[in-house]
Structure 1
Amino acid sequence: MASNFVQYLRGSQTSPAERKLVQKLDFFILTFCCLMYFLNYLDRSNLTNAYVTGMQQDLGFKGNQLNQINTVFTVGYTIGQIPCNIALYYIKPRVFFPSCMVAWAACTMVTAAAQHPRDIMAIRFFQAIFESSTFVGTHYILGSWYTGSELGKRSGIFTASGLAGTMIGGFIQTGINSSMDGRHGLPGWRWLFIVDGIITLPVAIYGFFLFPDTPRNTQAPYLSAEEKAMAIARVPEVSERTPISMGFLKHCFSTWYWYFFVILWILAGETESFSTNSLLALYMNAHPTTKYTRAQKNNYPSGVPAVGIVSTLFWATMTDYLQGKRYLVGYWIGITGVITSALILAYPHSTSIHFGMYYWAGSVYACQATFFAWANDVLRYEEDALRAVVIASMNMGSNAINAWWSIVFYGANFAPYFTRGMWAMIAVSIAMAIWTALLVWMHVRTEKRREVEGVYDAEHVSHTHVDKKVDEVTAP
């Protein structure tokens, strides 16, 4: 088994031509998408860094205006999910993604000229709409190019790039702020927005010229005619229907996919609450007996996304190797949520237990890559528009719930023990495991129906068939 796994890591494609194709796709798709996601995070998270390094005083922030701005950003980010993914159906991704990057880079740079908190509030709303294209749009693109046995690893690498940004983004922004402070009469926090916006533009240009779009409309100069045909043959042919129609809406809401995957990601999103709400940092800040230094408060919580990166890459790779058994992560999440919360409740005064459980909880980040890969797997035979809407709706639903969930259960005023949040985590983790089982049942039913109807996954078709398909597409 070990030798089989090593061979799998090297690549599951048996044809040298197919391996070469996948290597090209990995380079041009993953480099662009990972850089885009990293910069997305950088341009999104710079507000807090600016706030604590002078913006609060310069613009006269009062009360909870920073929280209000973050809420407005969440609203814009939620609203933009479905329209952005539908836009990919009409606009080539190599045009749409870079255009969104230029737009949010412009918003970021304009923030440097803000004179009042309400200015930033308006800017961040539109910035959020443009940034909402990145996460769900990338998962849609990955599902368009990669087979089920390849998808998990690629989704994991993409997600890990965002977690890496969580780890090192603050250091980058602190360096910009301190080195540029006072240049040309501008405070460092204003330079922070300018520089963050500028460094986004080269990646947008790179994507415009070299991103390969989707298999059926790619004009990438580095793909030969045979490779373009092979890319089409590797994934199932699906029917096409315009997403802007009543017929499509009826079809979308008459299938089980939308309801099951949206609820799955709503539950999964809340099982990430320990990490996404920075509970370890809040615990340290409000610790009843120990006073941690500023460096400790910055450094110790970085272990949480580090665990997330390892867990994401492990589960993404493992579920690919196990032929797409993404549901295993749902059960892992259920176990993790119940045990970590129960131990924190049982040992409220044990600092080592709290640290250990918050680090372990970072492993839940694995659901980001695996659950979106799962949605791509299940919807592989459905029309692209439905897949795009379901994937976007998953993230939209999660953000809509999380906008108030974090306040109700994980507000800073509940630190250091977050008792209410611990019970909420136990409940949602159990619900996550149950819902995962229900989704597996629905998936199995659908697969049996497809077998009866004679629908087969392109991965299970012999390479002889793929080669024949390539010959048909490339024939003059």
Structure 2
Amino acid sequence: MAESTHEVKPRGANERKLVRKIDFFILTFCCLSYFVNYLDRTNLNNAYVSGMKEELGFRGNQLNVINTVFTVGYIIGQIPSNLALHYVKPRYFFPTMMFIWAGLTMITASTHTPQAIMAIRFFQGLAEATTFVGTHYILGSWYTERELGKRSGIFTASGLAGTMIGGFIQSGIHASMDGRHGLSGWRWLFIIDGIITIPVALYGLLLFPDTPETTTAPYLTPEERSLAVSRLLSQTTEEDLESKPKVFTWSFVRIVLTSWEWWGFVILWIIAGETESFSSNALLALYMKSHPSMRGYAVSQLNNYPTGVPAVGIVSTLFWAALTDTLGGCRELVGYFIGVTGVATSAMILTAMHSANPGGGKATTVVFAAYYWAGTVYACQAVFFAWANDAMRGRAPVFRGVVLAGMNLGSNAVNAWWSIVFYGASMAPWFERGMYAMVATSVALSAWTAGLTYMIKRNKGRQILEDGETKGDASNKEAGVKSKGGVPWVHQSATDSVM
């Protein structure tokens, strides 16, 4: 009863002060790291069109091969990076990976062959795999259900902001540094992007607060550290906190792969990621470049008009993240909204394509409106990862970390070929195949959202029943926190092997 009362009462002054502190130190570091992560990850394309292609003698599809090699490293690093957070304090692990990828970025400035860049980018992908899923794991460790969506939204918005202004920053570096000290502008680009990362890493090393159970942050009082744990109603025992779960076992793998959370949320993000790829593959820019009327857009227009898509995405992300928090975590609403948006925007573009004058002003207006509206789909990033964190609050932290990493692993594995099959540049300006794929994935997302919502509610009801039985029976209580396969498990009966 005491736990239930704590859950519903308004936050007191002490809790508000705690949240303000962790907001400042967690969000500033995570958002800055995501921003520089974006710069270090995307500077290759900018360098390619700024002289690197000619200077290093790129041929054929070598740039595509480099991007694929990076993606392979990024995918491989997802689950190991989140597992590492269970053994190494985040304030050591995150900055260490940032130092590594900053160093690799600067080393790229010294390369003389495309093959050297391929090797560097593979290891850079491994190091950069820590940022996105690792941050969502940390946010889920510190924030309650009514707080998590907004913080996830702010984090995601920082990456979208990077897509808007990163190109301007990198163009400025090239324009002002080209030829200085005998180095090409593209080489300075890698050097400066790496240098920018270092102070952010140092900031995290000194002041990042780790997790509530392990924090030693000097700006948190002992009372605030205790409050950080108790306000999340953690069911993990002291014994669990001190143990090192045997995660590298077949037993652990079986538990993860037979859980509804793994399949439910990994498939959710695979589907949602492909609805998001409608905007992330720069389709509006490719449409403008190959406009059906052969209308010529200026270079400034080709660069500036598409920035409206991530701008809409920022607004949508913050709106839906705040709304679902206010509604008590109704994250499934975004799945239905995306389903409607995906079908509607695809239909608008197909209608313009088959109109009497597909190159006319009216059809062009419809297409622009559709792509801008489609930018609202970016909201799924913050909301769905918050949803996964919410649903796994009763799970051991290491389990939650693996599922979050699996979500991004699955999405990137499919994205590696999805854009080629459905949104290849040769399919511009209409991407007809991609429009039908968007309709199919949008319908699938709505259906999967409904099924996942049912599973979450069903298991919450079972959890409440088991908790009631546990409180009435001391022996059941002991079974409820018993480790399975060396992994601390919570909210689980002794006979339930997959929950």
TM category (shorter chain) comes to over 0.9
Cα distance in 2 between the residues matched to 1:238 and 1:310: 37
Deviations 1:119-162 (A, max 9, x none): 11110110011001000000000000000000000000000000
Query: Are 2:371 and 1:358 aligned?
Result: yes
Question: Quick one: which of 329, 342, 345 aligns to 1:337?
Answer: 342
The one-letter code sitting in structure 2 at the alignment partner of 1:98 is P
CA contact 1:242–1:385 (8 Å) conserved in 2: no
Mapped to 2, the partners of 1:171 and 1:207 lie a distance apart of 26
What is the Cα deviation at residue 242 of structure 1? 3.3
The match for 1:260 among 260, 264, 271 is: 264
Q: Cα offset for 1:13?
A: 5.1
Shift of 1:246: 2.4
Corresponding residue for residue 497 of structure 2: none
Structure 1: tracts of 5 or more residues without a match: 1-11, 457-476
Equivalent positions of 1:66-105 (< 5 A) are 66-105=63-102
Q: 1:21 deviation in Å?
A: 0.2
Taking a change above 3 Å as real, the CA distance of residues 327 and 303 of structure 1, as seen in their structure-2 partners, is same
**Mapping for residues 300-319 of structure 1, pairs under 5 Å:** 300-319=305-324
Partner of 2:236: 238
Structure 2 residues not aligned, in runs of 5+? 1-8, 470-499
Q: What is the aligned counterpart of 1:275 among 252, 276, 279?
A: 279
Give the length in aligned residue pairs. Answer: 445
Per the alignment, residue 372 of structure 1 pairs with 385
Distance in 2, Cα, partners of 1:274 & 1:448: 37
Which residue of 1 is the match for residue 333 of structure 2?
A: 328
- Corresponding residue of 1:460: none
Match in the other structure for 1:397: 410
What pairs with 1:449-464 in structure 2 (closer than 5 Å)? 449-454=462-467
Instruction: Please give the per-residue CA displacement for 1:77-130, whole angstroms capped at 9, x wherever unaligned.
Output: 111000000000000000000000000000100000110111111101100110
Q: CA deviation at 1:64?
A: 1.0
Cα deviations by residue, 1:7-41 (Å, 9 ceiling, x for unpaired) = xxxxx952000000000000000000000000000
**Do residues 247 (structure 1) and 251 (structure 2) align?**
yes
Question: Quick check: 1:303–1:359 contact (8 Å CA) kept in 2?
Answer: yes
Which residue of 146, 163, 176 corresponds with 2:160?
Answer: 163
TM-score (norm 2): 0.88
Q: CA deviation at 1:343?
A: 1.2
Shift of the alpha carbon at 1:249? 1.4
Over the aligned positions, Cα root-mean-square deviation in angstroms equals 1.1
Aligned twin of 1:438: 451
How far residue 250 of structure 1 moved from its aligned partner, in angstroms, is 1.7
- 1:15 is aligned to 12
Tell me how far 1:253 sits from its aligned partner.
Answer: 1.4
Match of 2:35 in 1: 38
Q: How does 1:112-151 map to 2 (within 5 A)?
A: 112-151=109-148
Q: Which one-letter code corresponds to 2:87 in the other structure?
A: Y
1:294 to 299, 305, 311: 299
Structure 1 residues 455, 367: closer, same or farther in 2, change over 3 A? farther
Number of the residue aligned with 1:474: none
How much does 1:273 deviate? Answer: 1.6
Deviation at 1:244, TM superposition (A): 2.0
Instruction: Give, in angstroms, the shift of residue 455 of structure 1.
Output: 6.8
Letter in 1 for 2:57: G
CA contact (8 A) 1:238 1:384 kept: no
Partner of 1:347: 352
Q: Give every structure 1 segment of 4 or more consecutive aligned residues whose post-TM-superposition deviation is greater than 4 Å.
A: none
TM-score w.r.t. length of structure 1: 0.92
Which sits farther off after the overlay, 292-301 or 270-279?
270-279
Determine the C-alpha separation between the residues in 1 that align with 2:275 and 2:440. Answer: 10
The equivalent of 1:181 in structure 2 is 178
**Residue 388 of structure 1: which of 381, 384, 401 is its match?**
401
Look up the match of 1:219.
216
Say if 2:204 is the partner of 1:207: yes
Identity %: 64
Aligned-pair CA distance for 1:441? 0.5
- Per-residue deviation, 1:254: 1.9
C-alpha distance in 2, partners of 1:207/1:418? 43
